[in-house]
Amino acid sequence: MIALYKKELRAFLTSVVGTVVLGVFLLIGGLFHWVFPGQWNLLSNGIAELNAFFLFTPWVLMFLIPAITMRSIPEERAQGTLELLLTHPLDPRRIILAKFAAGLTLVTLALLPTLISFAILHHLGNPPGNIDNGAVLAGYLGLVMLGGAFVATGLAASSRSKSQIVAFLTAVLTCLVFYYGPSALGSYDLFGGWDHIVQWCAMETHFRSIGTGVIVIGDVLWFTVYIAMALAVAQRQIQPGKP
């Protein structure tokens, strides 16, 4: 399992796709947070905080993470290496867990350079250091958990498709539905007293809750259960005998 994890990580970091995805992520964030004026600009409200970063980044990850995971299973099938992995002492669960761990590591590595924004705002605060460190730490924890949910979703989508493009589109649509769909439905007062329950089903609800700086076990548990269910779908799809 560790060997497969290292192989997945190495393959992405040394590929053109990996370089482009990481570069695009940092470029988009840099432009919207420091160059373009608007609600996502970190200097626009004159307060040393990263709220705009934490609200904007999920929408970028929603597209970039499926670009990472779309090749994970279809490429293995195309090259005939999936069957080879399954004949080794690696069961489907270990294969999926190794790919998930590699994907989550990549997400974490992509987020590390964004700490520069935190360092800049920490210095620009009046007085310097006047920034809510707890909220920033919680926000990054929320992004890691959200990234894990997107990685698991991407693996589930790629495990069900032989086409990387189909896997990408399916993952993006699924991430969008589970991230924002229930929040949007609940905001229209369509379900009466059940609206808050509908909104509770959205990733956005739990991500924003963690981002407030108060880490509730229910939010962590929600992401854990979601990730486990998505990985179970992926595992089931690569079971020997599946088409």
What are the structural domain ranges in the chain?
2-237
pLDDT at 82 over 90: no
List b or e across 58-94, with b for residues whose CB sees 16 or more CB atoms inside 10 angstroms.
bebbbbbbbbbbbbbbbebeeeeebeebeeeebbbeb
pLDDT at 243 over 60: no
Q: What is the mean pLDDT of residues 90-108?
A: 90
CA separation (Å) from 92 to 3, 63, 85, 112, 237? 15, 26, 9, 31, 9
Hey, what are 10's tokens?
């190495």
* Whether the Cβ atoms of residue 206 and residue 132 lie closer than 8 Å to each other: no
pLDDT of residue 141: 93
Measured CA angle at 182 (ends 176, 188), to 5 deg: 120
Q: Token pair 């693996």 is at which residue?
A: 155
Q: 0.85 cut: is pTM over it? A: yes
